Amino acid sequence: MNIWTIMIIGGLLTFATRLSFIFLLDRIKLPDWFRRGLRFVPVAVLSAIILPDLTSPTGTLFLNWRNPQLLAGIVAILVAWKTKNVILTILAGIATLVVFQVMLGI
C-alpha cells in the first residue's frame, strides 16, 4: 500500500471515529469494558513498539550491555519517570546513545 493510500484511508477512519457519535447521537451505547479498555490503548501500543526497538535495534534480539540502544532506553525510562519531561528524556536518551556508541567504537 502506498503512503498516500495509507494516509487517506487512515484520515477517513480517524474522521469517522470523531464523527461517530455526533452523527449517531445516542442510538448506540458504549459498553463499559470498552470505555475502560481505551485507557490502556496508547500505553499498550507504544510499549509494544518501544521494547523491540530497544532490544532488537537491527532486527535480531540483542539483550546485552553492548547494545547502546538498550542502555540509552533504560536511561530514558529513568529520566522520564523522574522528570516527566519530554525534552529532557529525549536529550538524555540521545546523549547516552552517542556516548556508548563512541565507547564501544560503533
Which residues here bind another protein, judged by CB under 8 A?
1-11, 13-15, 17-26, 30, 33, 35-56, 61, 69, 72-73, 76-77, 80-81, 84-87, 89-90, 93-94, 97-98, 101
Contact 79, 92 (CB under 8 A): yes
Shortest separation between residue 3's beta carbon and another protein, angstroms: 5
CA-based R_g, the chain, Å: 20
Query: Residue 98 or residue 103: which is nearer to another protein going by CB?
Result: 98
Shortest separation between residue 65's beta carbon and another protein, angstroms: 18
What is d(CA 85, CA 45) in angstroms, rounded to the nearest whole number? 21
What is d(CA 47, CA 55) in angstroms, rounded to the nearest whole number? 12
Query: Residue 58 or residue 65: which is nearer to another protein going by CB?
Result: 58
Contact 42, 36 (CB under 8 A): no
Shortest separation between residue 103's beta carbon and another protein, angstroms: 15
